[in-house]
Chain A
C-alpha cells in the first residue's frame, strides 16, 4: 500500500472491519487506510527527537533543549549562555535555555545563543520561529529533522502520553481507552507539519500554497531523516554535525541506541525474520 505524503495529512476516522481495526487518513481525493500496528506497553515508541537528543547527549554534544532551562539547575535566569552538566557522573552538556518553545527561543536570542557558538545542536518544536529569530546572515543554521508517518505519530502520541508523567500534557486517562475510543475524541491534528514549517497556528487555515512553501523549505534547507530508517538518518546527521562515527565513544552510543550491531555479535549470521510493518503476517492489535 503506498504511503501517503508526510505533509498535510489528516487523521480523521477509524473504521472497524470485523476484528481488524484500520485508521484512515485523508487528503482531497485520497483516502488511505492502514491497519493499526500492534503496540505493547513495552514498545511505546519514543519520538525521533527524544532518541536524537539522547544519542547526541551520549556522544558528548552540547545541546539546547528543555532540561537546560529547568530552574533546579540554577541557570535559567542568567543573562548569558551557560554550558553545564545537568547530571552527575555523566558528561552530558546542555545550555541554560529552552529552545523548544517560543518564549525560550526569544530568551535564547536575547542572550545570543547562536552567536556564542557554544551549542552543537539546538532542539525546537517551532522550526519557523526558531529559524527566523535565532539565526542571522553571519551565524547560519542547518536544519535537521526526523520525519514520521502521520499515523505512526498519532499512535505514538496516544501511547506516549499515557505514561509520560514528565510531559505537560500527560494524559493518564488515555491509558484506559482503546485506540478507537481515543480516535473518536476531538484529538485530530490537521496539517501539523505544514503549519509548523510556515509558522501558522492551528486557528489559521493552511492551504496548498502553504504546502508548497513548506515542501520547498524542506527540499532546500532540511537534512531529512526518516523514522523508518534511523540508521541512515543518523549517519547523515553525523556527517553534517562533524561527528566521527568510528570513534570509540560514538560506537558505544550507537550500539546503546541500537543503531549499529555490536562487533562481537556481527559474526552471528543467523537470518532474522523481518516482518514488514502492517503486512498480513504482522500481528494486529487486540482490543478490549
Chain B
C-alpha cells in the first residue's frame, strides 16, 4: 500500500507509509482490520477510519482512491494483498451489489404479490391463470414419476387386456376420515 503525503519527501513518504501486507504480522493485521485509510489532517496525522467488515475475500487486488478532506487533496492508495482487505471502494461496490440484491428481492416480492392478485391471463374466458401456472404451462411436464411409469397415457389406445383400470371413487364418508 502506498500513501502519499504532501509534507514528506517522496522517498520518505514511501518509507514511512508504504506498507507491504504480509511483511509484518502486526501491520498486516492492522491493515486487514481496517477498511479505509484516510488522511485526517494536512501535516502529520493519519487516521484510519474503521468501517464494518462483513465478509471475507481470499484473494483481492484492490485499487482505492481516498480523499484528503482537510487538505483538499487526493491521494492514491494502492493495495495488493491476498488477505482479506476491505476498502472504501470495495465497500462502495458491495453496497451497490447489496442494493442490487435488495432491489431484486423487492422486485420478486412485488412479482409474487402480482402473481396472486392480478389476472395474468384468462383461460378461454372466465378462467384465471396465475403467473406460476403460466410459467408451468410453458415449461416441462410436472407429471408425478409413478404416474409417468405406472399409468397409461390418456392418448394411448385402450388395451383392456394389458392394462387394469382403476376407478377413483370419491370418499362418501367424511373426507377427513377417508
Closest B residue to A195 by CB, please name it. B175
With an 8 Å Cβ cutoff, the count of chain B residues facing the other chain is 40
- Residues of chain B in range 98-151 having any CB-CB distance to chain A below 8 Å: 116-117, 126, 128, 130, 132-133, 136, 141-144, 146-147, 149-151
The verdict on B56 contacting chain A, using a C-beta distance below 8 Å, is no
Find chain A residues with CB under 8 A from B45 CB. none
- Residues of chain A in range 15-65 having any CB-CB distance to chain B below 8 Å: 28-30, 47-50, 52-53
Write the A209-228 contact mask toward B (1 if CB under 8 angstroms, else 0): 10011001101111100000
**Contact count A vs B, C-beta below 8 Å:** 178
Stretch from A85-93, A131-139, A259-267, A270-278 contacting the other chain: A131-139
Given contacts A28-B116, A124-B168, A217-B144, 14 further A-B contacts (CB under 8 A): A2-B126, A122-B165, A127-B166, A131-B166, A136-B149, A137-B149, A137-B150, A142-B164, A145-B169, A164-B172, A169-B177, A189-B176, A212-B132, A242-B158
Find chain A residues with CB under 8 A from B152 CB. 140-142, 221
The verdict on A125 contacting chain B, using a C-beta distance below 8 Å, is yes
Contact present for B165 and A47 (CB under 8 Å): no
Chosen A-B contacts, 9 in total, with CB atoms closer than 8 Å, are A29-B117, A50-B169, A124-B166, A140-B164, A141-B164, A144-B167, A161-B174, A220-B153, A223-B154
The verdict on B57 contacting chain A, using a C-beta distance below 8 Å, is no
Given known A124-B167, A220-B141, A220-B154, contact A49–B172 (CB-CB < 8 A) = yes
Write the A141-167 contact mask toward B (1 if CB under 8 angstroms, else 0): 111111010000100110011001001
Contact present for B175 and A136 (CB under 8 Å): no
- Residues of chain B in range 20-69 having any CB-CB distance to chain A below 8 Å: none
Closest A residue to B146 by CB, please name it. A132
Report the bound CA distance from A144 to B116 in whole Å.
Answer: 32
Closest A residue to B116 by CB, please name it. A28
Closest A residue to B125 by CB, please name it. A2
Contact present for A144 and B165 (CB under 8 Å): yes
The verdict on B171 contacting chain A, using a C-beta distance below 8 Å, is yes
Report the bound CA distance from A146 to B169 in whole Å.
Answer: 7
Write the A232-256 contact mask toward B (1 if CB under 8 angstroms, else 0): 0000000111100000000000000
The verdict on B72 contacting chain A, using a C-beta distance below 8 Å, is no
Find chain B residues with CB under 8 A from A168 CB. 173, 177
